[in-house]
Chains A and B, each alone.
Chain A
Amino acid sequence: MSAPALRRGPRRLRELSVRVGWGVIAWVVGIAFFLPVLWMVITAFKPESAAETWPPKFIFTPTLSEFHLVFSGMGPFLTHSVVATVGSTILVLLLAIPAAYALSVYPVKHWRDGLFFFISTKMLPIVAAIGPLYVIALHLHLLDSIWLLIVLYTAMNLPLAIWMIRSFMLEVPSELLEAARLDGAGRIREIGGVILPIISPGLVSTALICVIFAWNELFLALNLTVTNAATMPMFLISSVPQEGLYIAHLSAAATVASVPVIIVGWIAQRSLVRGLSMGAIK
């Protein structure tokens, strides 16, 4: 056997063990980071008496009783959350698609200013206007109304959606657009027949990002709604009583409230980064 071949064996072994070593570290870090979520789910299956013990119990008879309680109490909150989330996301798409078109395919004169105006509204802290927002809603009789949340969540997500959809539209090959033009397609047919089918995966990931932010929103809901439009985050708050044991109940409620978005996020993993960077990173 020649010398190089002899050396190759141990070297490969070393490379392999380094690789496995890093893999083990990554797994440990990943699990440690995930631990609070895991603990939330585990605690949700505990009977209340097993949730507040020292040392914490890892072995117990799982029960669905807290989930039953959660499901029986969350009805209206869930409805409000679904309506606010779906309603605002649809409205966002309806407004963002034409706007993104006007800022990309046949851009208006000051398209750059337009883009930056939209993004600058995300930097204005909405908390600064919460008092007046309350007064405005009061006078418009929109306080504690699901419509108010739809309107505000739309404004919250619109800049992000415009930036994101614009980045997808810029990727539509211009030959296709020119061909459609030569065929005498108007603007509407160009959007509906050429652009939208091509960017539909992008629209889905845009919608998912909007869903995540609207579903999780607490500040506006807490300030502007009481009962008629209270959303899932507020249901969570209501699951923490002034006294008595509540840890298992809270964990079950938190699990139920979080799971839809966690699943949406897992599905949209690949496009998550593009959405979060508003289209900057492909």
Chain B
Amino acid sequence: MAVVEGVAAPAPKVRLRPRGVSRREQWQRRLPLLPALIYIIVVTQIPFVVTLWYSFQNYFFDIPGGAHFTGLSNYTTVFTNAAFRASLVRSVVMTASSVIVAMILGMAFALLLDRKFLGRGVVRTLIITPFLVMPAAAALVWAGPMLDPNFGLLNYLLTPFGVHHVAWLSTHALGSVIVVMIWQWTPFMTLIVLAGLQGQPADTLEAAKVDGAGALATFRELTLPHLRPYIELGILLGSIYLVNAFDAVRLMTNGGPGTATTNLPFYLYQQVNYAFDVGGAAAAGVVTVILTIIVATFALRMFARVFQFDEAAG
């Protein structure tokens, strides 16, 4: 991939690290890293080890007697459980659709913001604000003042188009939740693509114009390839956050109606909080983690490419 200004995590300067580093020196270098490393291992890895352990236990909060070993039965339940599979599929649908639409909108907004016009800074500020709104606040404000069938602003604004008091959260629940996720994450995509557009060398664009290339051709042949790492980065980071989407589901639809908006995070939340099924939730969690690791392996590879670690410098 061509080297792109802006997106780069340059490797540390080699000359600061001569080949013959003494043992003592090695430990001196390692020392500052250890607190953070140990902290993150203890806090983020131990819960998953415990999860693995509980996934082989029968343990319900509401049944006295504590946990006891049940072998693979929790896993059998997970794999034969249609609700788990359905929530998995819904998670994929929600994440993919919200990330893709947010990226398309983000690109459009970035192209608008890349032009000079009066009050550009203000418009930019308006557009990034949804990302800053507390997700719980966004979910509740959309569910009530915006989407309510009887007094919601959206129904009012859509009246000229023949929309009459639509109960969005019961008739279009999944779509409504996805819309809020898109609304919150489009600014993120806009900022990343905008940074890409502004890092585009002006003279190449000028040259294309002199050569008589049309706006569309210039965009397809020059801008889009230049933006590719930025788009990849946006999709990757957006997916990391959106796959865990919980606030909008919990606060707008509570997973419903029925299970129409129950994604994986909400399903696991329900297993623990309503079914008190620690073992079952742990097994579902382990399966989730394994699936995540498969996806994350690809994601990390993409990450390394986008951040352009120079192998030779290591």
Q: In the complex, which of the residues B12, B44, B51, B304 contacts A155, with contact meaning CB atoms closer than 8 Å? A: B44
The interface residues of chain A lying within 8 Å CB-to-CB of B272 are: 130-131, 134, 223
Q: In the complex, which of the residues B17, B146, B250 contacts A107, with contact meaning CB atoms closer than 8 Å? A: B17
Once A136-B50, A281-B6 are accepted as A-B contacts, the answer to whether A37 and B151 lie under 8 Å apart by CB is: no
B124 CB to closest chain A CB (Å) equals 8
The interface residues of chain B lying within 8 Å CB-to-CB of A247 are: 144-145, 148, 151
Q: In the complex, which of the residues A26, A34, A98, A174 contacts B117, with contact meaning CB atoms closer than 8 Å? A: A26
Q: In the complex, which of the residues B10, B13, B29, B115 contacts A26, with contact meaning CB atoms closer than 8 Å? A: B115
A96-120, CB under 8 A of B: which get 1 and which 0?
A: 1011011111111101101011111
Q: In the complex, which of the residues B28, B35, B120 contacts A187, with contact meaning CB atoms closer than 8 Å? A: B28
Measured in the bound complex, the distance between the Cα atoms of B123 and A227 in whole Å is 40
The interface residues of chain A lying within 8 Å CB-to-CB of B150 are: 52, 54
Say whether B271 faces chain A, with CB atoms less than 8 Å apart: yes
B169 CB to closest chain A CB (Å) equals 13
Do B7 and A136 touch across chains, with their CB atoms under 8 A apart?
no
The interface residues of chain B lying within 8 Å CB-to-CB of A78 are: none
Say whether A226 faces chain B, with CB atoms less than 8 Å apart: no
Do B314 and A112 touch across chains, with their CB atoms under 8 A apart?
yes
A185 CB to closest chain B CB (Å) equals 14
Do A95 and B141 touch across chains, with their CB atoms under 8 A apart?
no
Say whether B84 faces chain A, with CB atoms less than 8 Å apart: no
Measured in the bound complex, the distance between the Cα atoms of B13 and A61 in whole Å is 64
A84 CB to closest chain B CB (Å) equals 14
Say whether A27 faces chain B, with CB atoms less than 8 Å apart: yes
The interface residues of chain B lying within 8 Å CB-to-CB of A34 are: 126-127, 129-130
Measured in the bound complex, the distance between the Cα atoms of B254 and A222 in whole Å is 14
A110 CB to closest chain B CB (Å) equals 9
The interface stretch among A2-10, A16-24, A64-72 is: A16-24
Do A133 and B47 touch across chains, with their CB atoms under 8 A apart?
yes
Interfacial residues of chain B within 250-286, with CB under 8 A of chain A in the complex: 250-251, 264-265, 268-269, 271-273, 277-278, 281-282, 284-286
Do B7 and A281 touch across chains, with their CB atoms under 8 A apart?
yes
Say whether B70 faces chain A, with CB atoms less than 8 Å apart: no
B307 CB to closest chain A CB (Å) equals 6
The interface residues of chain A lying within 8 Å CB-to-CB of B117 are: 19-20, 22-23, 26-27
A273 CB to closest chain B CB (Å) equals 4
- B247, closest chain A residue (CB): A218
Interfacial residues of chain A within 150-176, with CB under 8 A of chain B in the complex: 151-152, 154-155, 158-159, 162, 166-167, 170, 174
The interface stretch among B170-178, B185-193, B203-211, B216-224 is: B185-193
Interfacial residues of chain A within 112-157, with CB under 8 A of chain B in the complex: 112, 114, 116-136, 151-152, 154-155
Say whether A280 faces chain B, with CB atoms less than 8 Å apart: yes
Say whether B109 faces chain A, with CB atoms less than 8 Å apart: yes
Say whether A184 faces chain B, with CB atoms less than 8 Å apart: no
Interfacial residues of chain B within 33-59, with CB under 8 A of chain A in the complex: 33, 35-37, 39-40, 43-48, 50-51, 53-54
Do B126 and A276 touch across chains, with their CB atoms under 8 A apart?
no
The interface residues of chain B lying within 8 Å CB-to-CB of A269 are: 124-125, 128
Measured in the bound complex, the distance between the Cα atoms of B281 and A202 in whole Å is 40
Say whether A86 faces chain B, with CB atoms less than 8 Å apart: no
Measured in the bound complex, the distance between the Cα atoms of B217 and A254 in whole Å is 45
* Residue from B29, B134, B142, B292 having most chain A Cβ neighbours under 10 A: B134
Do B116 and A40 touch across chains, with their CB atoms under 8 A apart?
no
Once A33-B186, A36-B142 are accepted as A-B contacts, the answer to whether A130 and B125 lie under 8 Å apart by CB is: no
The interface residues of chain A lying within 8 Å CB-to-CB of B116 are: 19
Do B128 and A272 touch across chains, with their CB atoms under 8 A apart?
yes
Do A129 and B134 touch across chains, with their CB atoms under 8 A apart?
no
Do B32 and A101 touch across chains, with their CB atoms under 8 A apart?
yes
Do A281 and B230 touch across chains, with their CB atoms under 8 A apart?
yes
Say whether A240 faces chain B, with CB atoms less than 8 Å apart: yes
Interfacial residues of chain B within 44-85, with CB under 8 A of chain A in the complex: 44-48, 50-51, 53-54
- B314, closest chain A residue (CB): A112
Do B51 and A95 touch across chains, with their CB atoms under 8 A apart?
no
Say whether A282 faces chain B, with CB atoms less than 8 Å apart: yes
- B180, closest chain A residue (CB): A36
Q: Pull 26 A–B residue pairs with CB atoms less than 8 Å apart, ordered by A.
A: A23-B120, A35-B153, A101-B32, A103-B33, A105-B12, A108-B30, A108-B33, A109-B21, A116-B304, A124-B48, A125-B264, A126-B47, A130-B269, A134-B272, A136-B47, A136-B50, A155-B43, A216-B135, A219-B247, A232-B134, A233-B134, A233-B136, A237-B140, A261-B132, A269-B128, A277-B7
Binding site for B on A (CB under 8 A): 19-20, 22-23, 25-27, 29-31, 33-37, 39-40, 43, 51-56, 95-96, 98-99, 101-109, 111-112, 114, 116-136, 151-152, 154-155, 158-159, 162, 166-167, 170, 174, 177, 187, 212, 215-216, 218-219, 222-223, 232-233, 236-237, 240, 246-247, 250-251, 253-255, 257-258, 261-262, 264-266, 269, 272-273, 276-282
